[in-house]
Amino acid sequence: MKKILKIGIPVLLIIAIIVAGIFIFKRNNAVVILDNSKKSHFVDFYIDGDKVYFECVLNIYSDKDTKATVSATDADNVKTGLLKSSKLIGIDKTDNDTTFNLKAGENEVTVLFEGEYDGVPQIFAREIPRFIEVKVK
């Protein structure tokens, strides 16, 4: 009986730790999909000091309420001289935050993609960035 307790208690503790770990790492396993149809579209771009902003309306689907960040990569506007770097940070136009509060279902969000201005006020194409990443927080 003592042998069973000596082996059983550590095994139960290990199982409890594994189960707790699964719940901790699976806290927010929301599925988020960017709808790149006509529902997502480019609005305008503007320059403010040393920053460039691309205003876009994105249609994002989420299977549950969650928080997410949005970023993009735009190498074409680096080649034209509009951007210094291809990395763009997504900012929620409604509250100027980099975190987007998504509801379950369809979400229409206005994103300001912010990048560093390189001096040439010419845009490559009036389209949403080709490479957009939506990450669940």
Predicted pLDDT at 55: 98
Residue 91 structure tokens? 């900012």
In DSSP terms, 110 is beta-bridged to 57
- pLDDT range class, residue 125, cuts 50, 70, 90: very high
- pLDDT range class, residue 37, cuts 50, 70, 90: confident
The pTM is what? Answer: 0.79
- pLDDT range class, residue 7, cuts 50, 70, 90: low
Q: What mean pLDDT value characterizes the chain?
A: 87
- Return the exposure string of 56-78: e unless at least 16 CB atoms fall within 10 Å of the residue's CB, then b: bebbbebeeebebbbbbebebbb
Average pLDDT, integer, range 105-134: 96
Predicted pLDDT at 38: 85
- pLDDT range class, residue 83, cuts 50, 70, 90: very high
- pLDDT range class, residue 29, cuts 50, 70, 90: confident
